[in-house]
Amino acid sequence: MEPKTIRVIAPLPPKGNVAVRHAGQVIFHLDSAGLDVRPSTTTHPAYSLDHLRFAPKAAYREDRGRLLGGLDTLVLYPEGLDFGQISQELWWPRWLEGVRRLGLVWHLARRARRAVVVFRPRALKKPDYLAILALAGAMKLLRPRAVRLTRQKNPPEAVVAPILGHRPPPVSPEEAELASLELAVRHGARGEVRLTPVWLRAAFNRLPAEDPLYGEVKTLCEVVTHFGEGGLPVLDQPGGFITAAPFGDAPSTVHGVEMSGFMLHIHQARRLFDRFPLTTADSAQAYRDWFLSRAPQIYAHALHRGAPEQIDADLSPAGLAAALHKIVNNARFFDAEKGVAPPVAAWLNTPLPGGLTRLQFVLAVLAHAPLSGVQALQKPWEAVELKAWFAARAFASYPLLAALAGLAVPPTKPEALTTGNSAADTGLGQNQRMSDAALKGITPKRRFCLHHVNADAIPAQMLRTHTPGTTHIGFLLWELETLPRAHALAGKVLDEVWAPTRFVQDIYRRAYDIPVTWVGKGFDLPIPAPFDLARLGFAPGQRFFLLSFDLHSSVARKNPLAAVHAFQMAFEGDAAARLVIKTSKPPKNHWGDPEKQMSIIKKLMARDRRIILFQEHLPFAEYLGLIREATALVSPHRAEGFGYVPAYAMALGTPVIATDYAGTQDFCTPETALPVPWRKRLVRPGEPIYPLENAFWAEIDHDALADAMRQILDNPEAAQARAARGKALMLRDYSIKAQRARYLKRLKEMDLV
């Protein structure tokens, strides 16, 4: 007779939970994503039978039926359903999956002889909490003696203890994983089975001692065991993820502690001055220890120093496991075969019956390599399919290790790769989307990477994308003429910098000894959608000045208060004048407004109803419609790398008033706009993202700005003439077509296309 099963629906903590086995009873968990059912200490999905799929319906019903079979007791922690992890974007699939999860609980509670629902404070969002509360209440009304509701923080084994009559002992991870294997064999796993160290040990235990492979497999098991837990990081990343070292990194000494240039760069880039001041040998050693343990996880790479470690000719299981650790570590930075003693290399490259070498097989086990069925787990060292998997997948992340593993490293294909965060609504994200459009369909001669990140992130970005022979170009933005020290390493490791404006080009030319090429910017705007001025309380035809910026950026740099003061100076007593400030929703505790400009503006608005703060989100086309409706756009910025909003306004034919400084100088000239004079002002602490000594930016002349605003209204014909010339400039030089032409010209000069 099938033993009765206690099913626990609860979120798994990061390292798994305690499985419970009592008289043949096994507690199962529905994990925090709500998609996998497994013995509670199994940290990876072992086979597809463990997957509780909520779609399609047929598969869901089949898996639901399996869960309901042999059920005795249900223990439900509602947060284990984890509605917040439902990933569908549309509301109705999210709703459907949520209903299915509640339906699963309902069926389990009806089938179970006993059910316990454990509510914990603040574990669920209010709508989900109310849904579960209603479901649990209905269960209690229908089955008052079988259903118990409780509110406590006890772990599952403590909740189950009264049911069993005692607190059950914990089960080891190995036993829990073997329980998964037993279920897989019993039911016939559908699809993919993953090879694990525990399952290798189970296969070895079935091997007769007189089998010729007994000693061989025993040694393999011991090597895997000595290697330790946690799997194999060499295989964690998807194919094509490259971590070969892209640049030399000469070491230096800080208070007697050897550090690489990349280590010192990360200290600057992550601003670890307070945590690790590097003023003493102890703090320097503490930082080095932090870097060596954390950098591989953060950057998928860590530049070690010196030659690869010599691997001793120790053929004991512990010695071979230590050799594997050193080989994997060296494979990030050096040729893996260097430093390996010949006896160790000979042992690693000896083939097994299935065709894999010992090295390949051990790494496949540590990587939880996939197998097509349960039968392959009986003697996994004979699984021929692992050979194909290994060659196709294993060392895409670590090509330097492939030679030692007996694999040929495929040559790098010529490709044009852009990197960054193209989904971000930032200047850097816009730059990458622009480059993707401009480079679409090109055929490069050699592989090159165009990186759209700030210079302090360039070294780490290169570590993630490098292959031998790759050319690295940084498409950089910056708003201050002084660079942080964290930008220095980029100038040593990049092959070239592309700059969107002459302003940015001059900054990096002064700082770097590599080519810094102006390539400009390009964008093709959609057709603006009509914007209803009634949303601002305006009648049709109302003239108004528009100031627009993102509150998540630096308010101090955008300097909106200057426009408010100039507007009040220019139109004192003019009841018809209007100034609209279009921003985003304000973030909490915003770092970029140390002068409290927005607070001052709101106080001025309370006394001057002509100033309107508009913070509603607009679709981009409608936002362009607002810019097109404006009488003029005002940009009193203190610094700009490019200036997208003034550029958009100019492309739409809206007159522009802007500080005559920084990136906007490329297109805001006296012929196309009203550039406003300024004076130098030192940047105060807290105003920029990076603290910089002796950095300055532009403080716009308020009187001149007020005069420019009056000119727009006093002489609209001249304003429109300038706007027409500005629009022609944008259509000619700032389109994606023009950008593509500049890119191709420079790439041909670099012999990349």
253-299: pLDDT as tens digits? 899 888 888 888 989 988 898 899 999 999 999 998 888 777 766 77
CATH ID of 533-733, from 3.30.390.30, 3.30.499.10, 3.40.50.300, 3.40.50.2000: 3.40.50.2000
pLDDT at residue 403, as a whole number: 62
pLDDT at residue 1, as a whole number: 33
> For 389-418, what is the mean pLDDT?
68
Q: How far apart are CA 207 and CA 615, in angstroms?
A: 71
pLDDT at residue 30, as a whole number: 37
Between 498 and 689, name the one with better pLDDT.
498
* Amino acid identity at 732: R
pLDDT at residue 647, as a whole number: 97
User: Which of 10-24, 306-320, 327-341, 426-440 shows the lowest mean pLDDT across its residues?
Assistant: 10-24
* Amino acid identity at 123: A
pLDDT at residue 568, as a whole number: 96
Of the candidates 600, 621, 614, which has an alpha carbon nearest to the alpha carbon of residue 537? 614
Backbone φ, ψ for residue 105 (5° rounding) = -60, -40
Structure tokens at 675: 């550039």
Q: Does the pLDDT value for residue 163 go beyond 70?
A: no
User: Which of 17-31, 52-66, 102-116, 708-722 shows the lowest mean pLDDT across its residues?
Assistant: 17-31
Q: Does the pLDDT value for residue 541 go beyond 80?
A: yes
pLDDT at residue 318, as a whole number: 85
Structure tokens at 336: 């893996």
> For 149-178, what is the mean pLDDT?
66
pLDDT at residue 625, as a whole number: 96
> In this predicted model, what pLDDT tens digit does every residue of 356-378 receive, in sequence order?
888 888 888 887 777 877 778 78
User: Which of 276-280, 388-392, 432-436, 596-600 shows the lowest mean pLDDT across its residues?
Assistant: 388-392
pLDDT at residue 168, as a whole number: 61
Parse the chain into domains and list their residue ranges: 5-191, 416-518, 533-733
With a pLDDT cut of 70, the percent of the chain lying above it is 73
pLDDT at residue 233, as a whole number: 52
Q: Does the pLDDT value for residue 15 go beyond 70?
A: no
Question: Is residue 154 very low, low, confident or very high in pLDDT (cuts 50, 70, 90)?
Answer: low
Question: Is residue 325 very low, low, confident or very high in pLDDT (cuts 50, 70, 90)?
Answer: confident
> For 146-163, what is the mean pLDDT?
73
What is the largest distance, in Å, between two alpha-carbon atoms of the chain? 104
Between 733 and 56, name the one with better pLDDT.
733
Between 295 and 619, name the one with better pLDDT.
619
pLDDT at residue 492, as a whole number: 92
- Cβ atoms of 169 and 139 closer than 8 Å: no
Most confidently modeled of 18-27, 202-211, 288-297, 400-409? 202-211
pLDDT at residue 106, as a whole number: 84
User: Which of 158-167, 181-190, 641-650, 701-710 shows the lowest mean pLDDT across its residues?
Assistant: 181-190
In terms of DSSP bridges, do strands 696-700 and 678-682 run parallel, antiparallel, or are they unpaired?
Answer: antiparallel
Question: Is residue 164 very low, low, confident or very high in pLDDT (cuts 50, 70, 90)?
Answer: low
Between 58 and 545, name the one with better pLDDT.
545
Q: Does the pLDDT value for residue 689 go beyond 60?
A: yes
pLDDT at residue 508, as a whole number: 97
pLDDT at residue 196, as a whole number: 79
Number of neighbours of residue 726 by Cβ within 10 angstroms: 26
Residue in the structure block whose two tokens are 């990876």: 44
The pTM is what?
0.67
Number of neighbours of residue 528 by Cβ within 10 angstroms: 18
Give the sheet arrangement for strand 674-676, strand by strand: 611-614, 579-582, 545-548, 632-635, 656-659, 674-676
Between 513 and 408, name the one with better pLDDT.
513
Q: How far apart are CA 104 and CA 550, in angstroms?
A: 45
Which helix (H) or strand (E) segment holds residue 124: the answer is: none
Q: Does the pLDDT value for residue 35 go beyond 80?
A: no
User: Which of 244-248, 641-645, 728-732 shows the lowest mean pLDDT across its residues?
Assistant: 244-248
> In this predicted model, what pLDDT tens digit does every residue of 562-608 receive, in sequence order?
999 999 999 999 999 999 999 987 766 666 788 889 999 999 999 99
- Cβ atoms of 484 and 273 closer than 8 Å: no
Q: Does the pLDDT value for residue 697 go beyond 70?
A: yes
pLDDT at residue 301, as a whole number: 60
Question: Is residue 300 very low, low, confident or very high in pLDDT (cuts 50, 70, 90)?
Answer: low
> For 545-559, what is the mean pLDDT?
90
Q: How far apart are CA 104 and CA 101, in angstroms?
A: 5
pLDDT at residue 307, as a whole number: 52
Q: Which residues contact 337 (CB under 8 A, 6 or more apart)?
A: 345, 403, 404
Between 79 and 57, name the one with better pLDDT.
79
Q: Does the pLDDT value for residue 14 go beyond 70?
A: no
Q: What is the mean pLDDT of the chain?
A: 80
Angle at 273 between CA 455 and CA 639, to 5 degrees: 40
User: Which of 224-238, 475-489, 670-684 shows the lowest mean pLDDT across its residues?
Assistant: 224-238
Q: How far apart are CA 751 and CA 747, in angstroms?
A: 6
Which helix (H) or strand (E) segment holds residue 253: the answer is: strand 252-254
Residue in the structure block whose two tokens are 């559908």: 190
* Amino acid identity at 143: R
- Cβ atoms of 286 and 279 closer than 8 Å: no
User: Which of 8-12, 513-517, 554-558, 638-642 shows the lowest mean pLDDT across its residues?
Assistant: 8-12
Q: Does the pLDDT value for residue 396 go beyond 50?
A: yes
Most confidently modeled of 19-23, 409-413, 464-468, 715-719? 715-719
- Cβ atoms of 646 and 630 closer than 8 Å: no
